[in-house]
């Protein structure tokens, strides 16, 4: 007799890890300028892997023993990256002191580079695949964060409801019906469930503005690599990296984070569902938000990788598929 074939274990979810630069790879003039402002030379720098920015993200120690968390990026290979750091600096400097975020200590720009220095936070990222314990801790903190940031402080950030970036299904359908070859290729690569329901997804996506409208300041990019779990009872969870902040529905950050959790730990879906239900999120609005999130991830994943971000597209694809699965399983599908 032949042995029964064994099931193939699922592939591990792609990590939110880009290609980082070491501090020593920053141009000498930029490093000298930064160290003069900080009042000490960098004698040790340990790169942090999480995140997609093609620049420096490192815990550094200065000659006098002081510690900083430093982010730095230049115009190559991705000319858009300095703008994200610049925007992040403006938001970080203006967030209320009651919000559990790292304090921005310095922001400098020279030779086309943007360098940010934050207080170093002693903590760890949630382990992946996510555990129920870490997720429960982050969900509780996310709920408290939303309360603190409602109404949103006047930071001049955009409204999520007005974000034209969530028209992906509609744009794809229009291009596909117009016979565009690139759109046909994208549609062919979609999960079968989405491919069969493209018109319905496009129609549901049109409700995005009403579904996500709100007055809460949102992070809009919560993932394990943008969170730190600490031993500080006053800041047990610290929320980092705020360049995408916007105003919207108080529950949206959990919807936006959910796919990155579920792509590696699908069994944690009931925790996410219970949290959203307890916060009074309208099921129809959650479903519409998930349609928009899935459209963003899946259509973006079909494009060539941006310069300097070679790992981004597989991560987006995995999140998009997880968003669709969550939509179908918990929020009524389309």
| pLDDT for the residue 19 | 64
The reply to whether 151 and 47 lie within a common domain is: no
Would you say residue 210 lies in a domain? yes
Query: Does one domain contain both 267 and 300?
Result: yes
Q: Are 242 and 92 in contact (CB under 8 A)?
A: yes
Token readout for 184 is 């046909």
Q: Are residues 158 and 269 in the same domain?
A: yes
Shared domain check, 301 and 190? yes
Range of the domain at 300: 132-330
Instruction: Report if residue 8 sits inside a domain.
Output: no
Compute CA 3 distance to the chain's CA centroid, rounded to the nearest angstrom. 44
286: domain CATH number is 3.90.1200.10
Q: Are residues 95 and 210 in the same domain?
A: no
313 and 266 inside one domain = yes
10 lies in some domain: no
Residue with tokens 């959990």: 254
Beta bridge partners of 57: 71
Question: How many independent structural domains does the chain possess?
Answer: 2
- At 158-167, the pLDDT tens digits run 999 998 878 9
Tell me, yes or no, whether 297 and 159 share the same domain.
yes
Q: Show the beta-strand stretches assigned E in the chain.
A: 42-47, 56-62, 67-73, 104-110, 113-119, 216-218, 227-229, 237-239, 246-248
- Here the CATH number for the domain that contains residue 30 is 3.30.200.20
pLDDT in tens, 61-70: 999 999 999 9
CA distance 59 to 48: 7
In the listed set 119, 146, 178, which residue is the last one of a domain according to the structure? Answer: 119
pLDDT tens sequence for the chain (334 residues): 333 333 333 446 665 455 679 999 999 999 999 999 999 999 999 998 766 677 999 999 999 999 999 999 999 888 889 999 999 999 999 999 999 999 999 999 999 999 999 999 999 999 999 999 999 999 999 999 999 999 999 999 999 999 887 899 999 999 999 999 999 999 999 999 999 999 999 999 999 999 999 999 999 999 999 999 999 999 999 999 999 999 999 999 999 999 999 999 999 999 999 999 999 999 999 999 999 999 999 999 999 998 878 888 999 999 999 999 999 999 988 8
């Amino acid at each position: 007799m032949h042995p029964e074939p064994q099931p193939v274990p699922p592939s591990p979810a792609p990590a939110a890890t880009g290609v980082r630069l070491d501090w020593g790879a920053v141009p000498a003039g930029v490093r000298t300028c930064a160290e003069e402002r900080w009042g000490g030379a960098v004698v040790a720098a340990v790169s942090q892997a999480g995140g997609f920015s093609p620049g420096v993200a490192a815990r550094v120690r200065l000659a006098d023993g002081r510690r900083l968390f430093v982010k730095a990026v230049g115009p190559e290979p991705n000319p858009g990256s300095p703008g994200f750091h610049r925007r992040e600096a403006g938001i970080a400097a203006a967030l209320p002191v009651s919000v559990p975020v790292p304090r921005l200590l310095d922001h400098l720009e020279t030779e086309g580079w943007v360098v940010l220095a934050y207080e170093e936070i002693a903590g760890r990222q949630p382990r992946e695949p996510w555990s129920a314990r870490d997720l429960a801790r982050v969900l509780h903190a996310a709920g408290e964060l939303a309360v603190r940031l409602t109404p949103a402080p006047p930071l001049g950030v955009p409204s999520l409801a007005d974000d034209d970036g969530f028209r992906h299904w509609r744009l794809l359908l229009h291009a596909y019906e117009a016979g565009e070859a690139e759109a046909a290729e994208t549609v062919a690569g979609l999960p079968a469930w989405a491919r069969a329901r493209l018109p319905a997804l496009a129609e549901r996506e049109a409700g995005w503005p009403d579904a996500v409208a709100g007055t809460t300041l949102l992070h809009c990019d919560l993932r394990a690599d943008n969170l730190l779990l600490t031993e500080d009872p006053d800041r047990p969870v610290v929320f980092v990296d705020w360049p995408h902040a916007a105003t919207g529905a108080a529950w949206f950050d959990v919807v936006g984070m959910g796919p990155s959790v579920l792509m590696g730990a699908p069994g944690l879906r009931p925790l996410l569902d219970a949290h959203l239900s307890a916060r009074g999120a309208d099921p129809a609005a959650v479903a519409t938000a998930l349609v928009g999130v899935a459209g963003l991830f899946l259509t973006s994943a079909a494009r060539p990788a941006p310069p300097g971000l070679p790992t981004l597209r597989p991560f987006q694809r995995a999140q998009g598929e997880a968003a669709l699965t969550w939509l179908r399983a918990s929020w009524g599908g389309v």
